[in-house]
Amino acid sequence: MPKPILLSVDDDSDVLRAIERDLRSQYGADYRVIGSDAPDKALDILKQLKARSDNVALLLADQRMPRMNGVEFLQEGMQIFPDAKRALLTAYADTSAAISAINEANINYFFMKPWDPPEDNLYPQLNDLLDDWRASYRPAFEGIRVLGTRWSPRSYELRDFLARNHVPYQWIDIELSANDPETKRLLDVLGPDASNLPVVLFPDGTKLPEGAPAEVAQRVGLRTRAQTDFYDLAIIGGGPAGLAAAVYGASEGLHTVMVEREAPGGQAGMSSRIENYLGFPTGLSGGDLARRAVVQAQRFGVEILSPQEAVSVRTEGSYRIIKLADDSEISCHALMVATGVQWRRLEAPGIDKLQGAGVYYGGGATEALSCKGEIVYVVGGANSAGQAAMNFAKYADRVVVLVRGEGLAATMSQYLIDQIQQTPNIQIWTHASVAEVHGDKKIEEISVLCSDTNKVERVPASSMFIFIGAMPRTEWLAGLVERDDRGFILTGPDLIRDGEHPKGWSLDRDPFLLETNVPGIFAVGDVRHGSVKRVASGVGEGSVAVQFIHQYLSKV
């Protein structure tokens, strides 16, 4: 934790050096001493410290300085750090001004120059001031701070990115905390940048107005460029299947790189609670599962590029060459596609303009706390929708699950159905779909169509989270890898038609179980045609595929 700061200001360089020397001698072990020879420079320092979320314990200023006297400086400094103790350095002729400052300007103490010996004339009084300050001291948050508004799509995108990548941050909603004095001081310090939301403040005091995830990723040290240009195994997609393949591949000696478009964990990483995963009897969150898997993969030497995206792939002999979104390329002998699926977009008037402003695709874990006392709608009937409903029910006044069918039994695990039925503030509306979304800058109401009565009911809504369908993102493989009519990748036996190998297949063996029509390119997890859409099955496929990759590499 950074040391709190003692700031001294004096235009006389000899006096400034003397006070800094004495302060460091007595308090250097517990405090950081900073000096300035001009009050305007000192105010700039205070603004930088505020932006860095540092703590200032003491402001000590000489009374007689050009352009701004000590009292005036301390009053201005108090606007930035109101909890800091404030003291004057005065000559004998300024004693009456110092006493007036104590009575009228909230100055805590004054010291006469010279103060020798400091053991008698400086330290005892400062000890009392610093003891008082310590008694009410609350360390400021150390880390990234994000200032924005709840209904800003860009703010949501940034918060979701940081949360899914397990980057600690503090969220400051400037509308919700508009009356908070500390937020007002921070906005004042930011000046014009406060209008370019969201603003990201880093611990070193630098700021990034209108911060985008890719820019923040570079600043926090997430790796987006490969260290080398060739790997034994390249994995595209960082969900459970990709992470499992990375762990098994690297642990068995394969030089492995994993490329993830958003954040390791995929859709499973957004699940608030997974309770049927083997070995975790009390369940675990998708974020925890992803975090553990990432640590495990990195321990075995897996190189993770995130956020980064594969945009095309080509073959050159035994090499599979992947082009990335930044126009860089990596090559490999074996390529595994584990890109999973994305939520199908809900088609309803008014929905697109409110995405990120009350309308969300996926778990929305970062939004759960904000839903306290509100009405939340969950659209979908599979496990992901059920897990989200249970999570939101802890905070929201009411959670309504909209299901197109007759119920949940056909699409949701029984343990989740049982939990939902036992949760009084969750309601299930069957035969229900969203007909329209209403709101200007944020969602306010939705129109719900009941298919068995053909009636439309307009109801108030604070947030809506959508979990419908599963669409693969495989366009980047078009023309090379065979897919079904929905875009899912065909592998193994699904490629054999009437006993014939797929077109262009050049080997004298059948494709391996998880291999595509291109030798050395494999597909696992939800992106694969006919896969079981469960976390455990994805992990299993990723693990098993590594054995086929070894067999393939032995012949390359």
Cβ atoms 189, 130 nearer than 8 A: no
Q: Choose one of 75, 106, 135: the last residue of a domain.
A: 135
325: enclosing H helix or E strand: none
Give me the number of domains the chain comprises: 4
**200 and 101 in a common domain:** no
Per-residue confidence band for 53, with pLDDT thresholds at 50, 70 and 90? confident
| Over residues 470-488, mean pLDDT | 94
Question: Quick check: is 249 in a domain?
Answer: yes
Q: How far apart, in whole angstroms, are the C-alpha atoms of residue 446 and residue 140?
A: 40
Same domain, 364 and 377: yes
The verdict on 338 and 243 lying in the same domain is yes
Q: Which long-range CB contacts under 8 A does 420-425 form with residues at least 24 apart?
A: 420/386, 420/389, 420/390, 423/389, 423/390, 423/393, 425/393, 425/396, 425/397, 425/398, 425/399
Domain end among 466, 498, 523 = 466
pLDDT of 1 strictly over 70: no
Helix (H) or strand (E) holding 59: strand 56-62
Q: Which residue has the tokens 């969203």?
A: 434
For residue 94, give the CATH number of its domain.
3.40.50.2300
User: Tens of pLDDT along 165-194?
Assistant: 888 899 999 998 878 888 888 888 888 888
Is 121 found in the same domain as 32?
yes
Residues 6+ apart with CB under 8 A from 93: none
Looking at the domain assignment, is residue 225 inside a domain?
A: no
**CATH code for position 368:** 3.50.50.60
Domain assignment present for residue 95? The answer is yes
Q: Please identify, among 418, 445, 466, the residue that sits at the C-terminal boundary of a domain.
A: 466
In this structure, are 298 and 327 located in the same domain? yes
| CA separation for the pair 32, 335 (Å, rounded) | 53
429 part of a folded domain = yes
- 270 assigned to some structural domain: yes
Q: What is the mean pLDDT of residues 393-411?
A: 94
CB 50 within 8 Å of CB 189: yes
13 and 130 housed in the same domain: yes
Q: Is residue 347 part of a domain?
A: no
Phi, psi at residue 359, to the nearest 5°? -110, 125
Q: pLDDT tens, 217-253? A: 988 889 999 999 999 999 999 999 999 999 999 999 9
In this prediction, residue 93 carries a pLDDT of: 66
Q: What 3 state SS string does 248-277 have?
A: HHHHCCCCEEEECCCCCCCCHHHCCCECCC
Q: Could you read off the pLDDT of 344-390 as tens digits, one per residue?
A: 999 999 999 999 999 999 876 678 888 999 999 999 999 989 999 99
**Residue given tokens 């792939």 in the structure block:** 313
DSSP element (H, E) containing 152 = none
Name the residue range of residue 485's domain: 230-342+471-553
Both tokens of 377, joined, read 């709608």
Same domain, 284 and 361: no
